Amino acid sequence: MPLYFAYGANMDAAAMALRCPASCLVGRAELRRHRFIIMREGYASVVRDPGRSVWGVLWELALADVPALDRYEGVSGGLYVKAYQPVAAVGGVKRALIYLGRSATPGVPRPGYLEAVAAAAGAAQLPAAHIREIRGWQRGAPA
């Protein structure tokens, strides 16, 4: 079962239980040398930034759940691409699947999306500074 790092809507345990019922939450994790953005399509992504980090949650992803997750992430339509990145978690650095937005152009979040991501980040007890950063995208790229 591969590890999967979620930093957006898939941090929500209830939503993931519906999308990927055989997958298990592992805990918090940190993707170093990246920063959180909302891309022009209105969804979360991450981009390289050597001085920053993105917090999220790590899932143990059942292989049977991968096709559903690919569909949700719009892989076949080109919204996201799959990659493997090192993430820091309890027990050390681990290699995890991550979905990267194809667009690095900043945008405005879709209605209700950012609130759900921030709520999931709070439920996962991610650092308060990271939750503030997420909320800072409410009207587009933070100043």
**What residue has token string 């805990």?**
27
DSSP classification of residue 71: H
Task: Report the chain's C-alpha Rg in angstroms.
Answer: 14
Q: What is the 3-state secondary structure (H, E, C) of 6-34?
A: ECCHHHCHHHHHHHCCCCEEEEEEEEEEE
Question: 128-135 and 113-123 helices cross at what angle (nearest 10)?
Answer: 180
**How many CB atoms sit inside 10 A of residue 105's CB?**
11
Backbone angle region of 112, left / alpha / beta, with phi > 0 → left and psi within -120 to 50 → alpha = left
72 is in an annotated binding site: no
Catalytic site includes residue 73: yes
Of 30, 41, 60, 73, which residue is the catalytic one? 73
Active site members: 73
Residues placed in the known binding site for substrate = 113
